[in-house]
Chain A
């Protein structure tokens, strides 16, 4: 029976060959290879002796690793919170708009930054935040505030990252929230109106509680992004603020590609993988916790 079925579907197996082959070579093998490299004194040429856990020890004793972990946590949590609440507020506010053309146009516009790369968005913001000719400082000057060196001041660096990331992904998360709001059963609103609920009360007692599930999903999805922040920092970091904004992936990148200490970079990557897995399990547990 099984054999007959396999024979009948032989074409399907042939179709799967390139996909399985790709994943073996570019997903599973690199993972195993990464583990191997992390245990080696890996050079691009010549001998690659195994050196046990030395690479991991080096990473754990590297103050830059810990600094980049602190930066990741600070910036990650900042983006997580602002990137969650800001679009939520915007979605609730868009939901109160009755003219559908305005709603559509707002979504169209708000999504644009998400469509663009970090090179473009980061490059634009670096320019807008520049002290002499940047848009932001021109506006600050109008209201009588002295120019701020946003991109050269350690105190501002992390907030610039959080702010620009929130700005970029605003439209994306907003659309997710709006989709959740649209799928709320309209009869709930009718019932609330019958009972004389004001618009504020409808939002407070119908929309927000009904949106809980959507919120959990979005929060979970965004949590997984914390350790993946890279493009943004790669584009926007500079030597003046690097110490406050360079995240774990930047650490891995500069160790592995720029300093060619590949073993150490591979070891650092495994910490990232472990952190991501832990975070995934944790958020899954937390978000499911209330449901049961």
Chain B
């Protein structure tokens, strides 16, 4: 074995390894440099950030971008809206996914097959393709321009239900049965046994849902026109792309825009490295689904 390893250290292999590592490093740089550039621009003064020579390091260091975007452009309001919609939506989504997943692990429930096909069909309806009728439904329910419409959007997903079911299936069903014989009801078994034993599954779908709700755009542009109800994504889009038509145009220098981008991504990037393994796990589970 050792000799084999030694063989693989020949000059050809070494050369290949070096080229390979350089290739990967360059690729990683295409991911890192853009963010470093955003950071450098956000930390420069308004005037300096409009000059075409900032790449990795801020020039004329200043945090005015952040103060303008937070205080003068009041991005704290959409930020708060996003937090509300994301947290409430995620909690409800995960709860409903757990409930659905729990119901579907019971082997002898009459009508279970019908329930599963009922859920599977919803997964085949492309959500974006029904956005017009969904808009009409929300309008009929007087949900337009309310944060509730954003919480409700995608609140129950067949995908999450089936994912939670997979996590619950790992818990031996005999445990639930013996608890039943001891007189525990379904609610009790669900909340005291399954919810506690499937914590890694819970963490996985919670994280995915948090990210997708934080990034939610389609529903927010469909249902919200009132700028007081804007979420961070919509406000950011308005700020970085449609500035020419607003009166506060003079405020939006490049450093302000970049500060807006940073405020939007920092909550995600701050936690991401610590929970990365749940993401990896979730991705693989998602792929094995089909």
Complex-state Cα separation, A266 to B134, whole angstroms: 10
Assess A9 versus B106: contact at CB under 8 Å? Given A119-B217, A235-B237: yes
CB neighbors of B among A1-58 (8 A):
2, 5-6, 9, 11-12, 15-16, 18-20, 22-23, 25-31, 33-34, 37, 44
Cβ contact within 8 Å between A27 and B132:
no
Query: Which residues of chain A come closer than 8 Å to B269, judged between CB atoms?
Result: 112, 115
Q: Contact between B261 and A123 (Cβ–Cβ < 8 Å)? A: yes
Q: Assess whether B252 is interfacial by the CB under 8 Å rule.
A: no
Which of B24-32, B59-67, B68-76, B193-201 participates in binding chain A?
Answer: B24-32
Are B287 and A179 within 8 A (Cβ)? yes
A124 nearest CB across to chain B (Å) = 6
Q: For chains A and B in complex, what number of residue pairs have CB atoms within 8 angstroms?
A: 244
Q: Does A152 contact B (CB under 8 A)?
A: no
- Interfacial chain B residues near A113, Cβ < 8 Å: 31
Q: Which residues of B contact A2 (CB under 8 A)?
A: 110
For B, the interface residue count at a CB cutoff of 8 angstroms equals 91
CB pair A118–B109 under 8 Å, yes or no, is: no
For chain B, what secondary structure do more than half of its interface residues adopt (helix, strand, loop), or is it mixed? helix
Does A184 sit at the interface, judged by CB under 8 A?
A: no
The answer to whether A245 has its CB under 8 Å from any CB of chain B is no
B residues less than 8 Å from A37 (CB atoms): 132-133, 136
- Minimum CB distance partner of B217 in chain A: A231
**Complex interface: chain B residues within 8 A of A6 (CB):** 110-111
Beyond contacts A34-B130, A111-B276, A273-B126: 12 other A-B pairs, Cβ-Cβ < 8 A, are: A5-B108, A6-B110, A9-B109, A9-B186, A16-B103, A26-B137, A28-B122, A109-B31, A119-B236, A127-B258, A199-B8, A249-B131
Please give me the 3 A-B residue pairs with the lowest Cβ-Cβ distance, nearest first: A117-B215, A34-B133, A133-B52
Q: Which residues of B contact A (CB under 8 A)?
A: 4, 8, 13, 16-17, 20-21, 23-24, 27-28, 30-35, 37-38, 50-53, 55, 96, 99-100, 102-103, 106, 108-111, 115, 118-119, 121-122, 124-126, 128-137, 139, 152, 155-156, 158, 161, 185-187, 190, 211, 214-215, 217-218, 221-222, 233, 236-237, 240-241, 254, 257-258, 261, 264-265, 268-269, 272-273, 276, 279-280, 283-284, 287, 290
